[in-house]
Amino acid sequence: MANISELTRKEQVLKALMEQAGEWVDGNLLATEKVGGSEGHRRLRELRTEGHDIRERRHPDPDRDIWQYMLVEPKPEGIRHDFVDAYGHTVEGSILTPLLSPGYSRGRCPTCRKTRLFQRLKEPVYVDTVGL
């Protein structure tokens, strides 16, 4: 298969994965004439070696005997777990004292100004540090 694209074969694979970052991509789509070429799977290994976080799994449908790949984009810097009290006030975990139970902390709530029990939010907060 001749590469008729301006991108290298490796760049094609990376681009295809980036366009669906965080989602599983069927492996056979990464080894086509347009993307990756016949050596598409070797390009995947090269991208990994360069530090790209590419996960792989068997297709969840057992009738489809293929692998799937997913690019995990690096987390932004300044990831942070916020906590919430029973009144829905959120605070940064750094001002609280962790308790023995995982995910729970105690501290003074800046909003209601009382010592409260806080529970860690399930989803981390991504703090944009650009420009700080």
Q: Give the number of residues in contact with Zn ion, rule: CB under 5 A.
A: 6
Amino acid 111 reads T
| 106 touching Zn ion, by CB under 5 A | no
CB of 6 to Zn ion, least distance (A): 56
Contact pick of 35, 47, 85, 118 for Zn ion (by CB under 5 A): 85
Residue 52 binds Zn ion, judged by CB under 5 A: no
Q: Would strands 82-84 and 79-80 be described as parallel, antiparallel, or unpaired?
A: unpaired
Nearest by Cα to 80 from 62, 101, 96, 57 = 96
- Candidate segments 3-11, 12-20, 37-45, 80-88, binder of Zn ion by CB under 5 A: 80-88
Cα-based distances in Å from 73 to 22, 38, 68, 89, 105? 7, 25, 16, 30, 30
| Interacting residues toward Zn ion by CB under 5 A | 85, 87, 89, 109, 111-112
